[in-house]
Chains A and B, each alone.
Chain A
Amino acid sequence: MVKKRTQGKRAKADWWMRLGVPALLALAIPPAGAQDSTSLDLTTAYDRAVASIDSGQFDEGLAIVDKALADYAEGAIDDYGPVFGHFYFIRGMLLIRKGEYEAAIQPLRTCYETYDNEVLKQVVQGDHRLPNRFRIQALEQWAGCEMAMGKFADAAERYQRVLAEDDQKYEPKINRLQVQINQAKCHIRSEQVTKGKDFLVGQLDNEVLTDPTKRMIFMVLVNNWAPLASTAEIRDFLHRYGDLIRREDLESRHRRNPAFAAQAGTGFDRKDPVRALLWYGLMGHPGELLRERRERLVELESRVVEADAKPQVDARIAELKEEIPKLEKEYVSLQLGIGAAHYQLGSLAGSRAAYKVLADEFPGIDQRPLVLHNLVVCSVNLSRWKEAYQYGVTFFREFPTHELKPAVARVLVEVMFLQGEYAEAHRVASEVREDMEPGSDDRDIPDFVAGGSLFFLGRFEEAEDELDSYLESHPEGKRMELAKFYFGASKVNLFQWAEGAAALDEFLREYPASSVRATALYLCGLAHLVLEDWDISLGRIEELHTSFPDAEEVPGSWNVKGDALAGKGEAEFEEIAACYVEAKRLAEEDSRRDPEVAGYALRQLISAASDEKQWAKAGEWFDEFMQKYQGTSWRTDAVVSALESLVNLERKDEARGLLEGLVNEVGDEPGNPQLDELVGSYVDFLRENYPVEETIARLKSFPANPSPPPAPLRAWLAMGEIEVLAGEDEEKNREAINQAFYRLAALQDGGNLSNYTMVRLARWNLEERNKPEDAEVIYDFILNQRPQGEAVGFALVDSASILAKRGTTNSRQEAMHRFQRVLNEVDSAELREEAILGIARLHTRQEEWGEAQEWWERYLEDRSHSLARPEANYQYAVCLDRRGEEAEAMKAYVNVYVIHAGHLDWSTKAYLRAAEMRKEEGALVDALKILQDMLKRMGHLEHPGITEGRKRFNEWRDELVARGKP
């Protein structure tokens, strides 16, 4: 309601003189008597409206202002002057404080436009009207409202007008810088980004501005411009001005962290981890504050406090207890971000450092599984095996069923494996898979790594078992290809040639493009070579040469090819030799240096040339070998292969000297098969190239080094003498041979004799000295102390025979056991025959006719058995006889004396028993016919059986005559 003023024009509008907050001018005393009794006077209304801004009672303030406007607005500019516009300004401010920016614009606009101070341009004396001192501020607030509403372009223009019209004629100074800053914000937001940014950045270089002001401007740029800028621009900006923040005190800097964290998040959204790290680098270190707060809390909690100070201290403690978890959360969030950023960039050590501090200091966070997983990955990739293992085990212990467990296990073990840390990989794989279900997907990689590691550690038997298990448990395994390869290769390394060849053949079929095909071809070719599958071997090697000419197996494969061609027997010497020459050439290339391959090639060349009697070539190759490769494992073979060639090149003494040198090297190693072979070769060499006397003389005066020669060598030299003397004329040289054996016997103690020599000595004791007990001592030594090689078979057979002859129950049982061991453990056909014979005889001796018959049958079924066929046939007949199968027995006896007539021991017995059987049947005439046949065929020979036969014939003939039958 408009109030009529009767004295308005004369009222002193001095209410504008009063100061209020925020810097508003007070209201003047209203015209006296001009008011309705229900209205506030303008002064009071103004005061209360201003107070409501501070007190937050905005609606009350608005009501007061609206009432004042309703009561006094009409004609106010005439009554009071433009100063009345202050009410509109207050209205606008109240609405702004309520957040009603759009509504606030109108009153602010009115203040600015309607209550223009232009009316005061021509003030005359006595004009009581007062200027509007908030007009520019109203314009500024108007711009602010537009800014709040997102109308940035309009707001920017508005601010420009503020700056232009700020003449401070009637109004107090505005904060021009703040206006410019706001305008710059608007420019940035309204696509005049460069204009706004350039202004703000320019202020950062302004030497007049204080650091706090610059920091404020800095933050404006962070919140408004940074999201729009490229990372390069951000980088440049922070490079130039980042120190403004970095040199701020920690508490103040920390308060800015939410803004920087938000910008870092933007970096991740844009998949730009460097951008994120730029912002993280600007944050106030929450860890440092956390440390300080924790220490402060401890100090306060332990402090003894006076009663009147206790509430204060308690309040501070409560504050700290609230603040510390927030700081911890912030710190964790920061480290997770840093860890992720470094991780994404491949900065392993940086990532590791962040995750490690989280793993060690914050074990309760939700992200712990991920933290541990990432830490394991980083540690593994940094080759920090112990650390990776430690945190991996921690993961497994704390999160046994977590979905990331397989990933951790996989990373841990497979990377170790790929890095070649096989021992570690095997150990960790074995541990991590313990509580994984066999055959499960989780266990796939650990199982593979366990087997693969064993392969590379050279533990082929274990590798074979592991890989076999892998192939069976993981039919769809992720590493099936390599597992199959390692499995086949393990077989080859275990000399299981047939299985190895089969496994690798299948591998090559199944994986034509495998990365390990070259190695598989080589190993497969080698296996088939040993199996004498020449064509298959050659085929594999050919493919290796054609498809993988640079593979590291190629030099060695030429040796395989040479061996296969030699084995096949169709190629000429030149073609075979060319293979070895090529192997040597490749093995001598700088990039491939492989002395063992080259050494083997030369060894084969020497041997092949010797076989072809190409002495000169053999000699040349031998010389090359000795010059370059005598350090390889082929030295002994090369020397032995070259002997004949050297002799033919009139280098006999050189050859002998080399052999003597080799013998000396292993002269004190009685169990070493090389000693056996070398002395054997030496003895053969002497026999072939020197007369017997000189050979014996050289054996006796062997140039031992050290001298005198060690006992094992002396034993072998004595054995050599025995061989030479026996070879010349055993009977003639019996005495010397026996002397040599006595020398051997003297050397026997302490295991100085080789197994071969011991067997010879034992047999000499048996056959020559008839001292089975001395032979038994030797055989027991072999069986207990050195159960290796062919000697074991001889020891078993001979000792079993000794025991069998002893005749006691125990000795026969032991004899039976030893004969059985021969059948189970020994491959030698001859020894196996002796064993079967021994068992058959034992059963016969023990009159176990059923078992004896089986064994005699078994003996006879094998046509290769020839040691005692006559005896076997006879004893077989005896078994039938004793078991009551008389008709069959008779046939068998007839078989003996018909087929084995010349073996008088058995044929005579067969004759006699057959005759006896017929007599027992009452067929005396038939019995006499049998004896008659015997005497006809053998009567001229001297034999106890024949004598007995003649005697019986005479007796039974007389008996027949006495019966009266012709």
Chain B
Amino acid sequence: MRIATFAAAAVVFLFAGTVLQAQESRATIVLKDGRALEGRVDSVSGTSLKWWLPGLPQPQTYQFDQIDFIDFPQPPEWLEVMSLFDKGRYAEAAERFKAISLQRDSKTHYPAPGNFATLAERRLLDCYRRLRRPQDIAYTAKRIEWNKLPASERTQEGIIDCWAAVGDGNWEEAEKRVAATREEIPAVSSVAAELDYVAGLVHLGKGEGAEASVLFARAYGPDACADAALAADAMRRAIELVLADPERRDELRALVRLYAGLHGNGQLWEGSADSLKNLLTDDSSGGGK
């Protein structure tokens, strides 16, 4: 009981620390007709908001369907959590974003387009992508209100849908979405590696290990510099799959040494099989072809 209370208090403390405080500074409202107006939020209701334009005595009412998004000033708490995100501390950032996403009130300007609660959900999806947690992506993707985000935040719906389908274990759907998303993503983009990783998960889910092992290579090969954690995980998965194929022994040996050399500082990951560890010291390989 005492531990639970302490934990609850810690959570409250954590959440309390993440709660946004409404800002009074000026913001910019971008309307769907292309106009951008500087001003200040007066109030937000379910379908509209009142907006103070400079020089006018009364706030103006704008319906949400007239608004593309609002560029609200970023409070310190938001800047803080974004800093965590930018530093790659995704697990910590995710917890904070989750808390903000639950704060659906005037402090986050919810439900206005561009509100911080929805933005936090969007960032949460990105955290989960980086942490490779498809079930969490599936859960969040079902809740997020895309129409409350600026256009620039909607460009990666495709890859998120792919992750979500994987999170739901719906392999057929995931496969279709991967194929559709592949048409949208430029091949040189680092997201292409993420897409191949997701495609690898799909094939893994369908029991097609050989194909999965080849797809994972995009993340640890040409796009390793885009996301080191993804590259390491992709290589680990590939190793575990290639281990099962006796015809790819030389490649397995190469991958094991690559993992140790590039990601493990000379070692494999914790919990790796002894047979893999033995390959690190096995000198019988001829190396590259």
Contact = CB atoms under 8 A, between A and B. Distances in A.
B250 interface: yes
A235 B260 CA distance: 9
A701 to B, nearest CB: 60
A569 B288 CA distance: 59
Contact of B187 (A242, A360, A384): A360
A278 B225 CA distance: 9
Interface string A338-367: 110011111111111110010011000000
B217 interface: yes
A288 B285 contact: no
A282 interface: yes
Residue among A285, A381, A383 facing the most chain B CB atoms (10 A cut-off): A285
Contact of B287 (A290, A344, A383): A344
Interface stretch (B17-25, B53-61, B251-259): B251-259
A274 B262 contact: yes
Nearest to B88: A247
Given A239-B265, A346-B289, A331 B217 contact: no
Contacts of B251: 346-349
Interface in B176-224: 186-190, 192, 196, 210, 213-214, 216-218, 220-224
Contacts of A338: 221-222, 224
A291 B228 CA distance: 20
Contacts of A290: 188
A281 interface: yes
A247 B261 contact: no
Interface string B217-254: 11011111110100100000010000000011011011
A335 interface: yes
A334 B286 CA distance: 25
Contact of B289 (A242, A247, A334, A381): A381
Contacts of A354: 221-222
Contact of A235 (B187, B224, B228, B266): B266
B254 A347 contact: yes
A280 interface: yes
Contacts of B288: 273, 343-346
Interface string A265-281: 00000000110011011
B267 to A, nearest CB: 10
Contact of B258 (A239, A280, A347, A383): A347
Contact of A247 (B86, B192, B286): B86
A342 B221 contact: yes
B224 A349 contact: no
B186 A294 contact: yes
A345 B189 CA distance: 25
A353 B217 CA distance: 6
B2 interface: no
B238 A277 contact: no
A946 to B, nearest CB: 92
Interface in A218-247: 231-232, 235-236, 239, 242-243, 246-247
Nearest to A237: B265
Contact of B254 (A242, A278, A284, A345): A345
B87 interface: yes
A283 interface: yes
A285 B225 contact: yes
Given A280-B224, A345-B258, A346-B250, A361 B289 contact: no
Nearest to A381: B289
Contacts of B262: 235, 274, 277-278, 281
A377 interface: yes
B13 to A, nearest CB: 25
B211 to A, nearest CB: 9
B266 A232 contact: yes
Given A246-B88, A247-B86, A285 B214 contact: no
Contacts of A282: 225
Contacts of A19: none
B289 A277 contact: no
Contact of B228 (A242, A350, A351, A383): A242
Given A285-B225, A291-B189, A349 B214 contact: yes
Contacts of A331: 188
A661 interface: no
Nearest to B224: A281
Interface string A867-905: 000000000000000000000000000000000000000
Contacts of B87: 247
A247 B90 CA distance: 12
Nearest to B187: A361
Contacts of A274: 257-258, 261-262
A281 B225 contact: yes
A347 B196 CA distance: 17
Nearest to A344: B288
Identify whether the interface residues of A are mostly helix, strand, loop, or mixed: helix
Contact of A287 (B189, B214, B221, B228): B189
B207 to A, nearest CB: 17
Contacts of B247: 383
Contacts of B253: 346
Contacts of B220: 350
B93 to A, nearest CB: 12
A278 B261 contact: yes
A382 interface: yes
A287 B191 CA distance: 10
Given A247-B88, A285-B226, A353-B221, A382 B265 contact: no
Nearest to A343: B288
A236 B261 CA distance: 9
B214 A384 contact: yes
Contacts of A280: 224-225
Contacts of A384: 214
A349 B289 contact: no
Contacts of B289: 343, 346, 348, 377, 381
Contacts of A277: 224, 258, 261-262
A345 B257 contact: yes
Interface in A379-400: 381-384
Contact of A357 (B214, B222, B238, B285): B222
A249 B85 CA distance: 12
B265 A246 contact: no
A349 B221 CA distance: 8
Contact of B261 (A235, A285, A344): A235
Given A243-B88, A346-B287, A288 B189 contact: yes
A239 B261 CA distance: 10
Nearest to A246: B228
Nearest to B242: A349
Nearest to B245: A383
Interface string A47-89: 0000000000000000000000000000000000000000000
A89 to B, nearest CB: 42
Interface in A125-144: none
B265 A352 contact: no
B188 A361 contact: yes
A793 to B, nearest CB: 55
Interface string A287-329: 1101100100000000000000000000000000000000000
A343 B222 CA distance: 12
B239 to A, nearest CB: 11
A528 to B, nearest CB: 38
Contacts of A247: 86-88
A384 B217 CA distance: 14
Contacts of A342: 221, 258
A302 to B, nearest CB: 14
Given A243-B88, A280-B224, A350 B217 contact: yes
Nearest to B189: A291
Which 4 residue pairs of A and B lie closest in terms of their CB atoms, listed nearest first? A350-B221, A349-B217, A344-B288, A287-B188
5 contacts: A285-B190, A287-B190, A290-B188, A348-B251, A349-B238
Given A290-B188, A294-B186, A352-B217, 11 more contacts: A236-B266, A247-B86, A247-B87, A281-B224, A347-B221, A350-B217, A350-B222, A351-B221, A353-B217, A381-B289, A383-B247
